[in-house]
Amino acid sequence: MDISEIVSEIVGILKEALHRGPAERKIAIDALLKVGTAEAKDAVLDALEGDLKYGSTEGQLSAIEALAQVGGERATAALKEHGVGDRDSRHPVYVAALKALCLRMDGLSDPDLFHCACTSRNEELEIAAAAHAAKRQDFDALMKVQRVNDKVTRAVLEALKKSKDERASEAIAQFIGHGDGVAVDALNLLKERRVFGPILRAAKSQGDDQVRRCALEMLGEIAGQKG
């Protein structure tokens, strides 16, 4: 028997299995994706969209994983309903949907998704947004990353280091106010770029002692290079 003759029947059986228990449902979704016809894919998307809207948190997370695997405009639209907009950015479903869109479906080129990643307060998303902006040499976009922790801040600094935008040095100087290691990293980058004004100001600052000492040492090194 030619397999093509029974594909339609196979799809029908699998579509019925979508309405049974979770174990059979998962098997049916995987099988329909393997079939790969338009009817099979539509059946999967119908099921996953329902899970995403009405399922438990566990069911929603499973649906997000599957939608990222399916891909395409319809899957993207479904995920955007849960990963974009005025929602609780700490909710696991929001975070999972946004990660699927930005990290697995190349969604950072979408301005709305890029903004959500920048303001997500999620380390992985913010670092990805910084890397995306740096790759495009988009200085304004890079500075929209909110920097949830020092790891993200250093990723942004590293991206600024590679930036050819003449305003990058001004942005790097802003990191001196962070204190401690981040500020020292910023001072070193400014010295490499031969931008000495912020270093002079830091050496005279009444703020962080470590930063001031670092700036003072740099002034000696800079002055020693005068010849």
> pLDDT tier at 102 (50, 70, 90 boundaries)?
very high
pLDDT surpassing 80 at residue 105: yes
For the beta carbon of residue 53, count every other beta carbon within 10 angstroms: 12
| DSSP letter, residue 120 | S
Identity at 154, one-letter amino acid code: R
CA distances from residue 181 to 48, 184, 210 in whole angstroms, order as listed: 46, 5, 9
State residue 47's pLDDT score: 93
What is the 3 state secondary structure string of 52-117?
Answer: HHHCCHHHHHHHHHHHHHHCCHHHHHHHHHHHCCCCCCCCHHHHHHHHHHHHHCCHHHCHHHHHHH
Q: What does the domain layout of the chain look like in residue ranges?
A: 175-227
pLDDT at residue 113, rounded to an integer: 92
What are residue 37's phi and psi, to 5 degrees?
-75, 165
pLDDT in tens, 2-32: 777 788 899 999 999 998 888 898 899 999 9
